[in-house]
Structure 1
């Protein structure tokens, strides 16, 4: 369905360097789906979306400091490459060379799932913090869900301190629920960022939020951001038809079942073969760690046996299964995966775990 629509759109042109009607169609779909979004701006990637959101929260609040969480990754913009996850964590890199100190001076960090640490940062930086950025479910330090009450505490702390709450839903958006993690957990942030999911996997991103905040963005307001390829017709077409597919009955129930079967199968295989492992899932997002756990933050995740994960990953490749190539990356299932795919993956995992 998506590919057929792309072929038809391709005949009309790949990019116009100007707004097209398809942007309005997809924007209306995103606005109707995501609780926090009343206006949305399309960009070309999740990184770009987070860059735009960062400039927006600073412009709106008139403050410069932000709080992010250790092991969370919000793209490779300078301000976010402080205790970042994803490839930075996988490769064991320090805060990235090439980033000037001034770019990260205003970035404060706290352990994920530690509301008291966030409260202390607010107390020590009164009236200076523009926003709290987080992955509502961490995917870039492995799969780490929020503990009960954590997201609520962040919502309360930001409101009490005149700061904004930003959900980076590049991974969780449209995966955990049609309205993202904010619908799933019932916590509405002020600003939301999204990535390639809303373009059916094509290069696209978006940031959006309450109208009174988004009206800071030019041409409605003074905060400038632009991009020639933003909202290009191919990405918009793929997004429209992907989101239509996600509204079909039983979509998220199906994702929850196959992902749950997969994680339980791998953990059961680990227990049978004598490996200390833990893991979990929410709908189409999952992860397992080679540690007994529990894993509530990046510090806990780093206790994993990464060498064993490497052997497991290479063994699974030999069995024809391609997992995310890092202990510090969440995995995802899709509607294209069948129960047979899940069974094959579990069988492969048991074989590999027996020999590593």
Structure 2
């Protein structure tokens, strides 16, 4: 099929005295195509191709009726194949599947409605998994719904004691507590959804006690609906791309891997200089400035030390007499890291 531009070019080259073979080389087509075009004296017109008859054609009306009667459900192609074979169909399932696929109505996407919250109203929390196994590495991510200021804690497990400790550090870093915190279905927060009826969930007793102590309400997002907590979900991807992958690549060049001590030391700097200092694309403001100027005054004050009865929170035998029971759950990363932190800092400076 020749385009109008190629047709004009063939005619011009012919007027300049070029041979048919030379014209074919110039425009990139066969010599016979050039000869046929010049013999016609005008650009060829192409109409729609005639539809080829198929073995399935005689059964198309039946297939449309069957799928229409099954709405809003759908009959698999394998079932329809058995039915039309009983009526004499001799073809295969490939063309049947292609035809049936064209009958399926296009799914109607739900309109994306961005849900914004007032200052101090909501924080969204999620885990990010980087490694499993004996050398596990996870990140606790929290993002304020209004200012988009975020905080990150790298840990080696996702137990309830670790979750509470991450909340403690996050509240201290952000300067207060929001009135609501949004979670997915993590078992350290909710044990069973709708246990006693619609919206009446059975929460993890330890974490529920901690939430009451701090003064925030636990909110759960809809199952299999990540967009419900889209603010922290987008931050999770940003953390992986902008922080973790570059750091892991630098350490890999030196034959090292990211451990929890190094990750926490480096992520503090990244949060301060990059994540919370950038101009946020949605709000059009710098998250940390928006937190300090507008949202922090609306946060609830920090609660006193929580004295929950979980093994990690009980006072140690070496605690000084009369010392108040404070949350003593420390990261399992207290075990010796791969190398002293100074080694990583020196390597990062050399690689950079």
Given the two structures, how large is their TM-score scaled by the length of structure 1? 0.23
Output the TM-score relative to the length of structure 2.
0.23
